[in-house]
Homo-oligomer: A and B are copies of this chain.
Amino acid sequence: MLKNNLFVALIHFPVMNKKNQPIGSALTTIDLHDIARASITFGVSGFYVITPYEDQITLANQVIEHWTKGVGAKLNPFRKDALELIRVTKTFEDAVFSIEQERKEPVVTIATSAEKKKGSIAIESLQQKLADKASHVIVFGTAWGLADELIDTCDFILDPIFGSTGYNHLSVRSAASIYLDRIINGR
């Protein structure tokens, strides 16, 4: 089931620190690799990396350039294919606007959280929504997760990933991979 109307966004501001305060986080370059590789595996059309900080934008673009146009692209064409999905924007609004411009259809925004939030929807609901003529962007937070001020702007929020132990501190790389597998391969 290929969903060409599915996008992923990785937020570095506003996210939470462990004291539950909104912050901007630093880029973790392996997030770009892992989430790009999961995105291309599951047919995601674009992976937005969102940071307002100029030096972090430069770093992200250096990583992308190395693997899509530089030596990395020759060394590992599979990595090139994955990292070509990445687009860097300063704000989440810029990412949504970019998807709207590209796809010429409404953009539905879906936040994720490791905590159960009131009114969160199941994977099955999202799968049904994907049949609509709209683009859908699944939003992941770095650090200790998305700040409420960003979640509140999203159309929906997905149920958290539950394991079997109550521990809910997966890496964002693991969480994004599991969510994409659940969305595309059903659950």
Which A residues contact B (CB, under 8 angstroms)? 1-3, 18, 30, 33-34, 37-38, 40-43, 76, 78-79, 81-82, 161-165, 167-171, 173-175, 177-178, 180-182, 184-187
A123 vs chain B, min Cβ distance (A): 11
A34 vs chain B, min Cβ distance (A): 5
8 A-B pairs with least C-beta separation:
A41-B163, A174-B177, A43-B164, A42-B163, A78-B169, A34-B171, A178-B181, A2-B164
Q: Is the CB of B163 within 8 A of A43?
A: yes
Copies per assembly: 2
Can you report 12 residue pairs joining A to B where beta carbons are below 8 Å apart?
A: A18-B76, A37-B170, A41-B161, A42-B163, A78-B167, A82-B167, A163-B181, A164-B184, A170-B177, A171-B173, A173-B174, A185-B187
Known: A1-B164, A41-B161, A163-B185. 7 other contacts (CB 8 A): A34-B173, A37-B167, A37-B170, A78-B169, A81-B167, A162-B185, A173-B173
Residues on B with C-beta less than 8 A from A177 are: 170, 173-175, 177-178
Whole-angstrom distance between the alpha carbons of A42 and B85 in the complex? 30
